[in-house]
């Protein structure tokens, strides 16, 4: 039987286990990336491991999330990260160099290699034929220390692309179509592998837009073959030596197959408050728009911003629209500056933001109250933009630019404009001067620790029994943005006690007070959730902060991959209702007891949960490998690693 591309790359990287879909494997990681918002905690944990130098082929530390610097916290973190990079053999990408995923694709991503990143959109690099996976910072720290990365050997779904995109329809519409088909839940443990003649019509940055938002479906990664188009892209980045041809065997067998005819796609839009809430743009055309934001790791490439600049050439931004453009990288920005496209954007009324995450993470450009914002990024979760009452819609750069002109949601095909054909340059502008290489004299580097840098919090081993309270009961599709907000709160990433005050802020600002009171009274906190708990980001603070507040278990109908792994890493049990109907019986405030939890987990048994308030009991189960069980019982990965020394 032929092999999928996923199987080929994973098999050459197997460190633990056998390639059997559904079973846990450990793989060797060739490259890592971190960004500042997850990076500080990741490197604090790396330091705790006592390894003198990273053991990967390439590790890059990007500063792209918290670049606002409205206070000392962000710059303190940046300086810490810079000194850590210098000391431990890591390349430091300075603030201003661009968004990690865009820059990594341009300068480091290599077909056939593995990349682990402390950011959920790390699969962007799958566009170049790389197995690129998002994970919590602690997993990335372990990979930098040379340890394998553990994952469930994936089930590979083939997405066969045929035909060719029509004018005004672009890569974003392809991934929105994929989201329409697969939704944002139920895809854990799978990967998307793109095949077919349609692949040959897509450039690497377009492929990267598609792999980027596979994260929204919850797949472990998405991957394209590495072909002549990949070679051209690498050549244009002066990295042709990094090219290798890669494709699945023609008779490879897939877990599931889906076909998408690119020729039939139309402009699509993800409506509030989920990237899976897909409509055709023409269905809601005419809705007035207050803000248009173009950028983010999904749609900020040279091609994306060139098409916007050409569409807006000689036009003016509609007076009711605030129009923001954040180029994905300094390479993109400089090229736009040199070829005059930047001037076209500025002339049209664009507010040019830094090459950073910016609006996407809600640390700037919040819309007005009840405002309608059209954005090219990948997530529109409630409150993520910084304004809880705002409605955020996700679209392609073409649809976004159309609204800049008309002030309304507009299908770009309905504009009376010639379609600008954008060709990728034969040579991108290469300027690596905003990367700082590691120090040749690491022993002389002193790590800078400003007052914002704390210690990674410690946890106790799992108690014999959990005796606690349902501190909160939430519904389906709770994202990590619900669990711990980013935006203006993100500056506390290195200060866990302070950041913990914002757990569940967007749905229940009193949560942290109840949790603290329970903890002080010697009670454990328990979270009850619905389907697909922990969607979205890789931020391990969605586990660390609850851990700090004394949460010992989350009982949900199902979990998303990265968050479930983060819960285990920080010693919180991710327990699954055996019978989903039991979710309906349990209420916030119920007193809960889980007797002999250690014993039950050790023996791999289903667990009985006693609801003392209701005088009932129900059964929960869990998806944990033997290794994860040990980690959980030890109270998290750091304790587990210390016990193995
Ligand atoms: C996001 O898009 O939500 C983030 C901010 O990039 C996160 C990482 C973080 O919270 O720092 C992610 O996607 O993992
Ligand atoms: Fe940054 Fe947004 Fe991409 Fe996250 S999704 S890495 S915040 S641009």
Residue spans of the domains in the chain: they are 5-264, 268-414, 466-644
Q: Is the CB of 121 under 6 A from ligand 2?
A: yes
Q: Residue 71 corresponds to which tokens in the numbers above?
A: 């206070």
pLDDT in tens, 436-456: 999 999 999 999 999 878 888
What residues are paired with 192 via a beta bridge? Answer: 157, 222
In this structure, the residues whose C-beta lies within 6 A of any atom of ligand 1 are 37-38, 65, 119-121, 134, 361, 486, 536-539
Residue of 119, 137, 293 to test ligand 1 pocket, by largest number of atoms within 8 Å of CB? 119
Element (H, E) at 399: helix 397-406
The reply to whether 268-414 shares the fold of 5-264 is yes
Q: Which percentage of the chain shows pLDDT scores above 90? A: 97
**For this structure, is 541 an active site residue?**
no
522-545 as b/e: b if 16+ CB within 10 A: ebbbbbbbbbbbbbbbbbbbbbbb
**Residue 537 C-alpha to ligand 2 middle, in angstroms?**
9
**For this structure, is 77 an active site residue?**
no
**For this structure, is 263 an active site residue?**
no
When pLDDT is averaged across residues 362-385 and rounded to a whole number, the result is 97
* Helix, strand, coil content of the chain in percent (nearest 5): 35, 20, 45
Q: Distance between CA 492 and CA 175 in Å, rounded?
A: 33
The DSSP symbol for 531 reads T
Pairing outcome for strands 466-473 and 24-27: unpaired
Q: Of all protein residues, whose CA lies closest to atom 10 belonging to ligand 1?
A: 539
**For this structure, is 537 an active site residue?**
yes
**For this structure, is 379 an active site residue?**
yes
Q: Which percentage of the chain shows pLDDT scores above 70? A: 100
Residue of 293, 486, 541 to test ligand 1 pocket, by largest number of atoms within 8 Å of CB? 486
Q: Is the CB of 293 under 6 A from ligand 2?
A: no
Q: Given a cut of 80, is residue 191 above it in pLDDT? A: yes
> Measured from the CA of 481, which atom of ligand 1 is nearest?
3
Q: Given a cut of 90, is residue 409 above it in pLDDT? A: yes
**Residue 120 C-alpha to ligand 1 middle, in angstroms?**
6
Q: Which ligand is nearest to the CA of 62?
A: 2
Q: Distance between CA 119 and CA 130 in Å, rounded?
A: 16
Q: Of all protein residues, whose CA lies closest to atom 4 belonging to ligand 1?
A: 537
- From 273, 379, 493, 512, the catalytic residue: 379
Question: Per the CATH hierarchy, to which homologous superfamily does domain 466-644 belong?
Answer: Aconitase, domain 4 (3.20.19.10)
**For this structure, is 64 an active site residue?**
yes
- From 30, 59, 61, 64, the catalytic residue: 64
Question: pLDDT tier at 360 (50, 70, 90 boundaries)?
Answer: very high
Torsion sign, CA atoms 596, 631, 563, 453: positive
5-264 under CATH 3.40.50.11540, yes or no? no
Q: Given a cut of 90, is residue 644 above it in pLDDT? A: no
Q: Distance between CA 496 and CA 459 in Å, rounded?
A: 13
What residues are paired with 83 via a beta bridge? Answer: none
Q: Which ligand is nearest to the CA of 485?
A: 1
pLDDT in tens, 465-511: 999 999 999 999 999 999 999 999 999 998 999 999 999 999 999 99
Instruction: Select 268-414's CATH number: 3.40.50.620, 3.90.1200.10, 3.30.499.10, 3.30.1490.100.
Output: 3.30.499.10
From the list 281, 280, 54, the residue with the least C-alpha distance to 145 is 54
């Amino acid at each position: 039987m032929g092999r999928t591309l996923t199987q080929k790359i994973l098999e050459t990287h197997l460190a633990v286990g056998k390639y059997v879909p559904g079973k846990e494997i450990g793989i060797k990681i060739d490259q890592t990336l971190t960004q500042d918002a997850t990076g500080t905690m990741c490197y604090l944990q790396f330091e705790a491991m006592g390894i003198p130098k990273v053991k990967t082929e390439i590790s890059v530390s990007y500063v792209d999330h918290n670049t606002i610097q409205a206070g000392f916290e962000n710059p303190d973190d940046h300086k810490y990260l810079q000194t850590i990079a210098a000391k431990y053999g890591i390349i430091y990408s300075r603030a201003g160099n661009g968004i990690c995923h865009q820059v990594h694709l341009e300068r480091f991503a290599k077909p056939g290699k593995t990349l682990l990143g402390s950011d959920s959109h790390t699969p962007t690099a799958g566009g170049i034929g790389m197995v690129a996976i998002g994970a919590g910072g602690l997993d990335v720290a372990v990979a930098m220390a040379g340890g394998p990365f553990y994952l469930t050997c994936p089930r590979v779904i083939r997405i066969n692309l045929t035909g060719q995109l029509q004018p005004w329809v672009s890569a974003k519409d392809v991934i929105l179509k994929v989201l329409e088909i697969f939704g944002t839940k139920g895809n854990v443990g799978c990967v998307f592998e793109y095949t077919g003649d349609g692949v040959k019509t897509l450039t690497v940055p377009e492929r990267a837009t598609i792999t980027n938002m596979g994260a929204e479906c919850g797949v472990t990664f998405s991957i394209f073959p590495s072909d002549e188009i990949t070679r051209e892209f690498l050549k244009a980045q002066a990295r042709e030596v990094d090219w290798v041809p890669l494709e699945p065997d023609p008779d490879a067998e897939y877990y599931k197959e889906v076909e998408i005819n690119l020729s039939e796609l139309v402009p699509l839009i993800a409506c509030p408050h989920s990237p899976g809430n897909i409509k055709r743009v023409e269905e809601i055309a005419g809705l007035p728009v207050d803000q248009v934001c173009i950028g983010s790791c999904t749609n900020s490439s040279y091609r994306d911003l060139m098409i916007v600049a050409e569409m807006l050439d000689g036009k003016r931004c509609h007076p009711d629209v605030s129009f923001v453009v954040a180029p994905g990288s300094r390479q993109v920005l400089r090229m736009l500056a040199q070829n005059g496209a930047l001037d076209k954007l500025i002339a049209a009324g664009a507010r040019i933001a830094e090459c950073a995450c910016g609006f996407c993470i809600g640390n700037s450009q919040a819309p007005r109250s009840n405002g309608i914002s059209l954005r090219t990024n990948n997530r529109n979760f409630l409150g993520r933009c910084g304004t809880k009452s705002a409605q955020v819609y996700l679209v392609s750069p073409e649809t976004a630019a159309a609204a800049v002109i008309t002030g309304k949601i507009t299908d770009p095909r309905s504009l009376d404009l010639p379609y600008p054909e954008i060709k990728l340059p034969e040579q991108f502008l290469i300027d690596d001067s905003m990367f700082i290489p590691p120090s040749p004299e690491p022993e002389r580097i002193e790590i800078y620790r400003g007052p914002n840098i704390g210690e990674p919090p410690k946890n106790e081993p799992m108690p014999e029994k959990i005796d606690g309270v349902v501190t909160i009961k939430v519904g389906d599709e709770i994202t990590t943005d619900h669990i711990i907000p980013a935006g203006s709160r993100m500056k506390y990433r290195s200060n866990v006690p302070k950041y913990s005050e914002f757990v569940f802020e967007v749905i229940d600002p009193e949560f942290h007070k109840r949790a603290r009171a329970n903890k002080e009274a010697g009670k454990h906190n328990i979270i009850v959730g619905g389907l697909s708990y922990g969607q979205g980001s890789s931020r391990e603070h969605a586990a660390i902060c609850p851990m700090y507040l004394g949460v010992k278990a989350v009982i949900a109908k199902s979990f998303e991959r990265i968050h479930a792994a983060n819960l285990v890493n920080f010693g919180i049990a991710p327990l699954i209702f055996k019978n989903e109907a039991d979710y309906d019986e349990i209420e916030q405030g119920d007193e809960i007891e889980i007797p002999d939890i250690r014993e039950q987990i050790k023996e791999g048994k289903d667990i009985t949960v006693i609801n003392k308030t209701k005088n009932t009991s129900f059964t929960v189960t869990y998806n944990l490998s033997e290794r994860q069980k040990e980690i959980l019982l030890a109270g998290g990965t750091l304790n587990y690693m210390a016990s193995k020394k």
